[in-house]
Amino acid sequence: MTLFDPAMRTGFNRLRVVDLETTGGDHTSEIIEVGIVDVVRDGEGWRATPPVSKLFRPRREISFHAMAVHHLTPDHFCDDDPHYDEYALREMFAEPADVMVAHSARFERGYIADTATGGLPWICTVRASKQAWPEAPGHSNQVLRYWRGFRLDPAMADPAHRAGPDAWVTAHILMDLLKDHPVERLLEWTNAPRDLALVPFGKHRRKPWSEVPEDYLQWMAAQTDMDVDAVTAARRELDRRKVG
């Protein structure tokens, strides 16, 4: 494993970890809680600032499936809580940062407009951890929390699946990754598709791509809201068959 080389440093000094809780599981859902933790340069290493979180009163119902994850119910909100909008998020992001970070960043990026972040690049700690630690028993932030042996203050790390605590756990995953890998490498891993030997889901799950019917590959290749690695693998297999 390549250790972090201080000579590779650039202008990355503040990495903003963000976590969202929403009313449901699709992009028609509303943000109802935002948590942020800034990971900042501290000498030769990094440190995390205490988590900050804010509730946003939903305009519509919270799904029961969402409640079962984050346990936010209508009783958590009062009339004084604002509805979510980009302006409110910009207030939380008032301190300038260099990079946005999230665990499974595709989810957060689906809700947070580039205008709210100033068009900053993103690091996905799921994608980076899969590259750095392929041997891990899982890559959710709570699995990594215990597998990597973090000893976190429950006052900031719990309960799980709330925005502030989850951002705090993700911040520690990020700092753990940064011990061995520079920011540039994490950005590269975030943006580069992973090689998938087998189909990861669906009716052809665990089949080699060479055994998947062409019409199914064409359907996957046309999707815009599917896992980017799977879409890339489907397109590569279609290209391989054209050459063959």
The tens digit of pLDDT for each residue in 192-222 reads: 877 788 898 889 988 999 999 999 999 999 9
Q: Is-contact 210 199, C-beta < 8 A? A: no
| Cα(92)–Cα(94) distance, integer angstroms | 6
| Cα(218)–Cα(73) distance, integer angstroms | 41
Average of per-residue pLDDT values in the chain: 90
DSSP run (H or E) holding 37: strand 31-42
The tens digit of pLDDT for each residue in 48-74 reads: 999 999 999 999 999 999 999 999 999
pTM: 0.81
Structural domains present in the chain:
7-191 (3.30.420.10), 194-244 (no CATH)
- Tokens standing for 53? 């979180």
